[in-house]
Amino acid sequence: MRHYQLGDYTKMDLKICLDWITKYRERILTGQIAIRTRDILRQIAVENEIDIITGKVSNDHVHMFVSYRPNQDISKIVHWLKDIRSRLLLSEFTRLKKQFWGHQFWARSYLAVSSDNNMDEMVYQHIQDQEGESIVDQQFIYNQPPHKTP
């Protein structure tokens, strides 16, 4: 069953898969840093009305499958998730501040792939197969793979 977001005169289902890596592909997203990263991502998503369908924090990159509103730009969503989180992590973990001088925690690039109803299950399964700390938003309805509608 699809879960549409409803507006005053609209019904929408906008989803995107986002991936980004740490600067120099450093394997630092482990232990407490991975858990804090996951928690910050959830917090930022709630604050900006982004619904996390699923996601993983791997040791050197992040995968997220999110649902968003039509008035939100994908570049703005990535900015919220990467930049805000970067500043919080650098301020909380001093060893990261020394390792990533100049406040550059993430590589500048990211991957954004839009998803339609036919690809949802493949994207969901791809992220579930990744190693790392799960980012599933407990308040969002999708805790299982999205179902196709006939």
Q: What is the pLDDT of residues 62-114, one digit of tens each?
A: 999 999 998 999 999 999 998 877 888 888 888 887 777 666 788 989 999 99
Q: Which residues pair with 31 in a beta bridge?
A: none
| 47 lies in some domain | yes
Query: How sure is the predictor about 2, in pLDDT bands with cuts at 50, 70 and 90?
Result: low
| 62 lies in some domain | yes
| 61 lies in some domain | yes
Q: How far apart are alpha carbons 133 and 127 in whole angstroms?
A: 11
| 129 lies in some domain | yes
Domain containing residue 42: CATH number: 3.30.70.1290
pTM of the model: 0.81
| 15 lies in some domain | yes
Average pLDDT along the chain: 83
Give the count of alpha carbons within 13 A of 22, CB side only.
21
Expressed as residue numbers, the domain containing 31 is: 5-134
| 139 lies in some domain | no
| 144 lies in some domain | no
- Number of domains making up the chain: 1
| 94 lies in some domain | yes
Query: How sure is the predictor about 147, in pLDDT bands with cuts at 50, 70 and 90?
Result: very low
